[in-house]
Amino acid sequence: MRLSELLSKAPANEEAQVERFLNARLPWGKHKTIEVGKVAINFKCKTCDNVRTFMSGDKLSCLGVGERVVSIDACLKCPVCKATIEAWFLVVSRDELDVQAPTVRLERYVDNRRDIASRIGVGAGDFDDLLERAQLAYEERLGAGSMVYLRKIFEAITKQVADIASIPTIGNNGGRKPFRNLLQEVDEQYHIIPLAFSSDGYKLFSELSEIVHGDSNEEVALQKYYPCRSLVIGIIQNVASDQEMKRAIDALGWNINGLNVPSSGAIVP
């Protein structure tokens, strides 16, 4: 595998053995131009209003950061309208960086899209906006912040499925129904919780809430981010694929892309 193939999988923190890309150790603070193939990442180009594969040139800029760490900069261009964005990759090696076939990991990835492009979501309309905000918070190492957005999605889709199914969200005392009870009623009727997690769907919300309210440290939040994100995406997909739910949404003149999810707000508990 060439290094460009690994970088093209960003933002996933993949690890792989790659072809040699440095012939000698790169000292701290020293730059070197490397030829490792073109980096290609899919974005939705806002000028084209379509998904495009933004590609780098043949040469990338590599900066020595540590004995086994390099920083790589790339400029990615839309192949149609030629709009450009910047991308930065922090690459860490298990071995010396200048060995024949180093095993390296994409430790961190940042892109500067400058409102030129947006990342590709999971096809869930407004939920994609919140998922992207969660991902960006994670990439900035804001564990609690990333969980805030995941919890907003979980709450929003559960309450709106309840609305579609005519399940009351107000309790007997006139106040808001406890979320645990609402989730149980919604899941019993529409099975929105992924099967692998169906034994205790509220546990996911508890995990998110515990982190959001400061009962867990940032490192733990970051470790739990991807499992929680996968489960939240599973809930979105379950709702989107349920035929009875689709009929109910259509009858109301809605669609999964139009569910009303707040997409603004600061990253705070």
State pLDDT tens for residues 19-28. Answer: 999 999 999 9
User: What is the pLDDT at residue 190?
Assistant: 80
Record the tokens describing residue 146, joined without a space: 């990333």
**Average pLDDT over every residue of 70-80:** 96
Domain boundaries, the chain: 3-119, 126-258
Q: What is the mean pLDDT of residues 26-49?
A: 94
Would you state the pLDDT for residue 246? 62
The rounded distance, in Å, linking the Cα atoms of 55 and 223 is: 31
Q: How confident is the model at residue 264 (pLDDT cuts 50, 70, 90)?
A: very low
pLDDT at 123: 57
Average pLDDT over residues 97-113: 91
- pLDDT for 267: 33
Instruction: For residue 269, name the pLDDT band (cuts at 50, 70, 90).
Output: very low
pLDDT digits (tens, 9 = 90+) for 186-203: 888 888 887 766 665 567
Of 76-80, 140-144, 191-195, 223-227, give the range with the top mean pLDDT. 76-80
Residue 81 has pLDDT above 70, yes or no: yes
Asked if the model's pLDDT at residue 92 lies above 90, the reply is yes
- Predicted pLDDT of residue 251: 61
Coil, strand or helix: which one is 153?
A: helix
What is the tens place of the pLDDT at every residue in 57-67? 999 999 999 88
Of the listed ranges 153-162, 178-187, 209-218, the least confidently predicted one is 209-218
- pLDDT reported for residue 186: 87
Q: What percent of the chain shows pLDDT beyond 90?
A: 36
Tell me the average pLDDT of the chain.
83
Q: Nearest 5°: phi and psi at 195?
A: -55, -40
Q: 191-194: long-range contacts (C-beta < 8 A, 24 or more apart)? A: 191/238, 191/242, 192/157, 192/158, 192/161, 192/235, 192/238, 192/239, 192/242, 193/234, 193/235, 193/238, 194/231, 194/234, 194/235, 194/238
Residue 248: predicted pLDDT: 61
Find which of 8-17, 190-199, 204-213 is predicted with most confidence, using mean pLDDT: 8-17
Check residue 11 and give its pLDDT. Answer: 84
Q: What is the DSSP string of 102-117?
A: -EEEEEEEEEE-TTTE
pLDDT band per the 50, 70, 90 thresholds, residue 156? confident
pTM over 0.85: no
For residue 249, pLDDT beyond 60: no
Which residues, other chains included, contact 63 with Cβ-Cβ below 8 Å and sequence gap of 6+?
Answer: 26, 29, 30, 31, 70, 71, 72, 73
pLDDT at 268: 31
